[in-house]
Every structure is written in structure tokens, then in C-alpha cells.
Amino acid sequence: MTEILASELFCGIDEKAAEDIIGELGAYEREYAPGERIFSGGDKTTAAGIVISGIVCIENVDFRGNTNLIARLGRGDIFGEAFAAASVPMRVDVTAAEQSRILFVPVNGLFLSSELPLMGRMRENFIRLLAEKNVMLSAKLECISKRTVREKVMTFLSMQAARGREFDIPFDRQQMADYLCTDRSALSAELSRLKKEGIIDFRKNHFVLMDAENK
């Protein structure tokens, strides 16, 4: 239950209330092996997924067969909630990147009358999560709309640096390239140039923004 309570969907909800809500909504758990598909584009779902353990990747594949990474989710993160609430087919693939346990929470019950006192709080959390996802997708759109690889990289890193000029990103190089919708070799070359020019420093997924004036 600790892992479930780590989700923002259950923010402000105690363990007993969470158990009651899960029971009333008919939530259920599933386990997935590394590389196993949780949802494919075109699937329909009535439930949002909460990552109890493991890592889940949200991706789409364009008409050329290129994979674009939308998000990499860990414990407590939620996915599929917008598609479930809107009752529209999934437009993305959701895959377990490692052994993962998922709690599926049917969302329709959130908007029905309930005698549970904290169901209203969970409904508020759900609406807030939808808004936060829109902000996240807007940030990605801002990155990938840039014309050059350098502009994409610096826009992305500048967003990450909002919490401090030294930070870790949740991607390896291929995942970062997929997220920015660019080629991995082009990304690596641009990162090397930026480091040589003293604009950034990095080691693996740890970055330092050295000179804000050159962004």
C-alpha cells in the first residue's frame, strides 16, 4: 500500500481510505516482464495505470517507424488517465522497461456519487494530474518544435535547470534522442560541442549548465 500512496492520485488520502476507494472502484493489479506491452496504440481502456514498482515507457511510432519517447515513468507515476476518462483509443504504446507491477484504477467511478468521504479528494487529484500532464506535454512540444538539435538540447536542459544548474535527467542517450525526436549520433555530437564550448558539462545523465548567457 505504501507504493500506491506514493502516487499523486492518492495525495491527502490515508491508507484506510485508499483501501476503501480501491475496493469501491474495483482496482486491480497486473505484473509485466521487461519489454512486455501494457497498452498498444489503438487499445481502449477504462482504467488509469499506477506504477507500483518498475519502470514504464510511453512511446509513439511515427509513419517512418521511428520511436519517439514521450515519458519514462517510475513508482507512483500514472498513465492512461486521459484516454480512460475520454473513452478514446490509446494513441501511444506503453511498455514495461523492467519488471513492473501496475495498479489499474477504473476512472468512471470517480465521477459517480459515493459515500466515501475522500472520494472527492481523489477526484480533485485526478483533475490536477490531467492538468499537470498537459503542462508536461506542452514542455515537450516546446523542445521538439525547435529547428536545430542545439536548440532542442538547450531548451530541454534549460527546463531541467529550473530546479538548479546541476541536475540528473531520467534518460540515457538513446532515450534522450527519442524524447527530442532527433538522431542519437547527432545528439551526442551536439552535446560534445556544447561541452567543448564550455556551455555545459556532463557525465552520463548528470548535467551542469555552465553559462546561462550562451543558451
**Full DSSP string of 6-58:** TSGGGTT--HHHHHHHHHHHT-EEEEE-TT-EEE-TT---SEEEEEEES-EEE
Percent of the chain with pLDDT over 70: 98
Q: Name the phi and psi angles at 139, rounded to 5.
A: -65, -40
Other C-beta atoms lying within 10 Å of the C-beta of residue 172: 13
The DSSP output letter for 1 is: -
| DSSP sequence for 99-122 | SEEEEEEESGGGGS--S-TTHHHH
In the prediction, which pLDDT does 211 show? 61
The CATH code of domain 146-214 reads: 1.10.10.10
**64 pLDDT above the threshold of 80:** no
Task: For residues 100-117, give the mean pLDDT.
Answer: 90
In the prediction, which pLDDT does 215 show? 45
Domain spans of the chain?
Answer: 2-139, 146-214
> The cell 507515476 sits on which residue?
77
Which class in CATH covers the domain with range 2-139?
A: mainly beta
Q: Select from 68, 42, 76, 62 the least CA-distant residue to 178.
A: 68
In the prediction, which pLDDT does 66 show? 78
Task: For residues 57-84, give the mean pLDDT.
Answer: 88
Task: For residues 112-119, give the mean pLDDT.
Answer: 86
Q: Select from 196, 181, 114 the least CA-distant residue to 151.
A: 181
**166 pLDDT above the threshold of 60:** yes
